[in-house]
């Protein structure tokens, strides 16, 4: 019964018309803004993160994924959020924590809401178009080069696992 419902849900989701990414801006942890218009034609993995979570060690995998594919066009965007009460109190603290503990160089936003009424417009768009809202820290949204949500992943899916790298490699191969 559960498999049947899951298959039906996937079929219904696949039948929905694709709605390409709208233009969004995020406040960058480094100052300035991050503009989704710069993502055109590139795959993007957007991950809501937190510094004090059991999944925080995934920062290593996110950085490794970014290092491996960035020259081919992959963007990995970390979106620190305190929606699950596990983020540090300021963007400056988050930036320092990530640099010192993980050597992060991938793009990061300022601390951002990812759920509910205060969710960033990007996350509201993902909820509206893909029916996905983060249920915990380190949930992942894969946006294709065409600007559509291609897949979503929960916290337990590691950044360098085949469910994530497989589609990314296909997207990057299609660009070449």
Provide the percentage of residues in the chain whose pLDDT is more than 70.
Answer: 87
Q: What does the pLDDT look like over 42-63, one tens digit per residue?
A: 999 999 999 999 999 999 999 9
How many whole angstroms separate alpha carbon 98 and alpha carbon 49? 11
Residue 122: predicted pLDDT: 97
53 is catalytic: yes
**29, exposed or middle or buried, with CB in 10 Å at 0-12, 13-18, 19+?**
buried
CATH class of 20-175: alpha beta
Q: What is the per-residue burial (b if ≥16 Cβ within 10 Å, else e) of 130-160?
A: bebbbebbbbbbbbbbebebbbbbebebbbe
Q: What does the pLDDT look like over 78-137, one tens digit per residue?
A: 999 999 999 999 999 999 999 999 999 999 999 999 999 999 999 999 999 999 999 999
- What's the pTM? 0.88
Q: What mean pLDDT is predicted for residues 16-21?
A: 56
Q: Which of the four pLDDT bands, split at 50, 70 and 90, describes residue 10?
A: very low
Q: Which one is catalytic: 24, 53, 70, 152? A: 53
Residue 7: predicted pLDDT: 39
Provide the percentage of residues in the chain whose pLDDT is more than 90.
Answer: 85
């Amino acid at each position: 019964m559960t498999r049947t419902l899951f298959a039906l849900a996937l079929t219904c989701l696949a039948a929905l018309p694709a709605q390409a990414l709208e233009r969004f801006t995020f406040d960058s942890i480094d100052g300035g803004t991050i503009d989704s218009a710069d993502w055109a034609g590139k795959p993007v993995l957007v991950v809501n993160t937190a510094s004090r979570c059991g999944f925080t060690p995934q920062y290593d995998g996110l950085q490794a994924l970014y290092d491996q594919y960035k020259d081919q066009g992959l963007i990995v965007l970390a979106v620190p959020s305190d929606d699950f009460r596990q983020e540090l109190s300021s963007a400056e603290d988050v930036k320092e924590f990530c640099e010192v503990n993980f050597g992060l160089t991938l793009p990061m936003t300022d601390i951002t809401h990812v759920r509910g009424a205060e969710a960033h417009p990007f996350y509201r768009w993902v909820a509206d178009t893909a029916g996905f809202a983060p249920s915990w820290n380190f949930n992942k949204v894969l946006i294709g080069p065409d600007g559509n949500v291609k897949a979503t992943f929960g916290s337990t899916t590691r950044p360098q696992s085949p469910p994530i790298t497989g589609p990314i490699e296909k997207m990057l191969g299609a660009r070449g």
